[in-house]
Amino acid sequence: SQKIEQNSEALNIQEGKTATLTCNYTNYSPAYLQWYRQDPGRGPVFLLLIRENEKEKRKERLKVTFDTTLKQSLFHITASQPADSATYLCAFQGDNFNKFYFGSGTKLNVKP
């Protein structure tokens, strides 16, 4: 079965730097991969989707890459701000298009 791995250790960076979060998977490459932001006590909020045939997707200060050879997706936040502090989750389409599976998330702390 598909396994999704995100770094369980929190990522601490200084304001203004670029934050890079990693999502690795085993087995098959999903057709779709999503990234979400989750604040404490709240439901996740959708940020970006990238398709299997797309290498990179950008949205404002966010950038997602998808490397099917490495079986990895990277999520970048440039010019990070304290307001970017949250837990970031990646999600993969399952073998059934109706299902997405989530990683455990990586907590990002941006210090002023």
Which residues make up the interface to other proteins (CB under 8 A)? 4, 6, 32, 34, 36, 41-47, 49, 89, 91, 98-105
**Residue whose CB is less far from other proteins, 18 or 46:** 46
Q: Report the 3 state secondary structure along 60-94.
A: CCEEEEEECCCCEEEEEECCCCHHHCEEEEEEEEC
**Residue whose CB is less far from other proteins, 15 or 54:** 54
Shortest Cβ distance from residue 34 to other proteins (Å)?
5
Output b/e per residue, 64-87; b: 16+ Cβ within 10 A: bbbeeeeeebbbbbeebeeebbbb
Shortest Cβ distance from residue 51 to other proteins (Å)?
8
**Residue whose CB is less far from other proteins, 17 or 42:** 42
